[in-house]
Structure 1
Amino acid sequence: MAHLLSVNAGRGRPADYTDAALTGIDKRPVAGPVAVAAPGGPTGTAGSGVAGDVIGDLRDHGGDDQAVYAYAREDLDLWQAELGRELSNGVFGENLTTSGLDVNGALIGERWRIGADLVLEVTSARIPCRTFAGWLAERGWVRRFTQVARPGAYLRVIEPGRIEAGDRVEVVLRPEHDVTVEVLFRALTTQAELLPRTLAAGEALNVLSAERIRRRLERMNGVPS
């Protein structure tokens, strides 16, 4: 049964690998029920949907379309073996560490019910950034993470609720298209030929991903930017 292993939140702190004043990428499991709700604005203006979680750089993180970030423990375990170091829940900056759920195989627009009330909708794949690379401190990390294509998923809040470790995760809606988190990630990074396919996800795509897709398709078609 798919369930949460932990709900993770980060405290803001300064770091020399980001040009933002603070970073909240160092997320740790928190005890007890945690409230999750839409942050109340687009990316660039609003933070995390998880109560108590800090996002230091709002330019490409947070907001209603990226309110929650989920990563599978199974994928963390694969990275743990490859890197030869312990990777605790939350270390990739994820708010939800899951078990038994195919996060990268989730469809854009797929909805998950977690616990009694919370409903989330998958909106995009996580694109690795300088802060992620600096935090992990692994040589060539952005390239390695990109090549493996296990990015984890960003989600928006459809119905707010309170959740905690052990809560069941149930897929309650699966769209009819075939645009998964992994397909979207590959299209935006290493396989531009997949970009037209991602349009099938429609309005379920978050704004940042939709804009990236539009710009790249225009370049492929020779449209001046």
Structure 2
Amino acid sequence: MHVISVNVGRAAPSEHTDSPSGLTGIGKRPVAGPVRVAAPGPRGVGGSGVEGDGIGDLRHHGGDHQAVYAYAREDLDWWEAELARELPGGIFGENLTTAGIDLTGALVGERWRVGAEAVLEVASARIPCRTFQGVLGERAWVKRFTGAVRPGAYLRVVREGRISPGDPIEVVGRPDHDVTVGLWFRAFTTERELLPRTLAAGAAMEPKAHEKVQAYLRRQATVPAK
């Protein structure tokens, strides 16, 4: 398991975003490294946790619970076959293009040592948006991406450090529950009945996601029995 590329990008103007700034940082390219990762601060204040990486819309992206985005080269290869086009590392807006690790099967709260210094924790899955669809230029992309359940993983920075292409990834901790990135993604997109199961992730659950689950449970409690 290792990092193939570390990808960063500056926030740039785009017609596909509804960000108040009119900017998006989704366009990322591999860099030589090493690149420092650190916890950027809370959502709305902190941007990317990756040095030199831009965030266009702080309302919905960045912050401690979305500090780093990882996507597997194996999933990019799968999409290359589906879309009949080349998909270089960084094209999905990922900071880390990985090899040999099943991101969809990773557990929320799972911890990785990346390289000699950094420790990252799996926080959630990426939910596709219209900016992603517009920049990629694929019709019905949000629906296709959602249906494939290959979302990639958002990561927190537990211990800051430098990451370079080729760095090994070692799983150093796995929590005692079954809430995978794939299950989390399905629960928050197409299978809302799975939402209560995500609470098993406990404190590893992003606070905003936890609030959404609690709101769902309150609504369910007021639905009359048939």
Same fold, judged at TM 0.5 (above):
yes
Q: Which runs of 5+ in 2 are unaligned?
A: none
CA distance in 2, matches of 1:215, 1:139: 32
SS in 2 for 1:221: helix
Give the structure 1 partner of residue 12 of structure 2.
13
**Could you tell me how far apart the structure 1 residues matched to 2:164 and 2:51 are?**
12
User: What is residue 150 of structure 1 aligned with on the other side?
Assistant: 150
The reply on whether 1:65 has 2:65 as its aligned counterpart is yes
Structural mapping, 1:80-99, within 5 Å: 80-99=80-99
Q: 1:65: Cα distance to partner?
A: 1.1
Alignment of 1:1-225 (within 5 A): 2-20=1-19, 21=21, 22-39=23-40, 41-222=41-222
Q: Using the TM superposition, give the Cα deviation of residue 148 of structure 1 relative to its aligned residue in structure 2, in angstroms.
A: 0.8
Within 2, Cα distance between the matches of 1:119 and 1:26?
A: 25
2: CA distance, partners of 1:44 / 1:59: 5
CA deviation string 1:10-31 (max 9, x = no partner): 1111000102221110010011
Q: Tell me the amino acid that sits aligned with residue 172 of structure 1.
A: V
CA contact (8 A) 2:187 2:195 kept: yes
Equivalent-residue separation in structure 2 for 1:28 and 1:207 (angstroms):
30
Give the residue type in structure 2 aligned to 1:46: G
For residues 76 and 194 of structure 1, the distance between their equivalents in structure 2, rounded to whole angstroms, comes to: 27
Q: Is the 8 A contact 1:66 1:206 kept in 2?
A: no
State the secondary structure of the residue aligned to 2:13. coil
> Which TM-score applies when normalising by structure 1?
0.96
Q: Quote the RMSD (CA, aligned, Å).
A: 1.0
Q: Which amino acid aligns with 1:175?
A: P
TM (norm. structure 2) is: 0.95
> Which amino acid is 1:204 matched to?
A
Letter paired with 1:30: V
Counterpart CA distance in 1 for 2:50 and 2:216 is 32
Amino acid at match of 1:29: P
| Structure 2 counterpart of 1:6, one-letter code | S
Shift of 1:217: 2.6
Letter in 1 for 2:34: P
Distance between the aligned counterparts of 2:222 and 2:151, measured in 1? Answer: 29
**Cα deviation, residue 137, structure 1:** 1.3
Distance 1:167 1:209 in 2: 31
94-103 or 214-223: bigger deviation: 214-223
CA contact (8 A) 2:6 2:33 kept: no
- SS of residue matched to 1:171: strand
Identical pairs, percent: 67
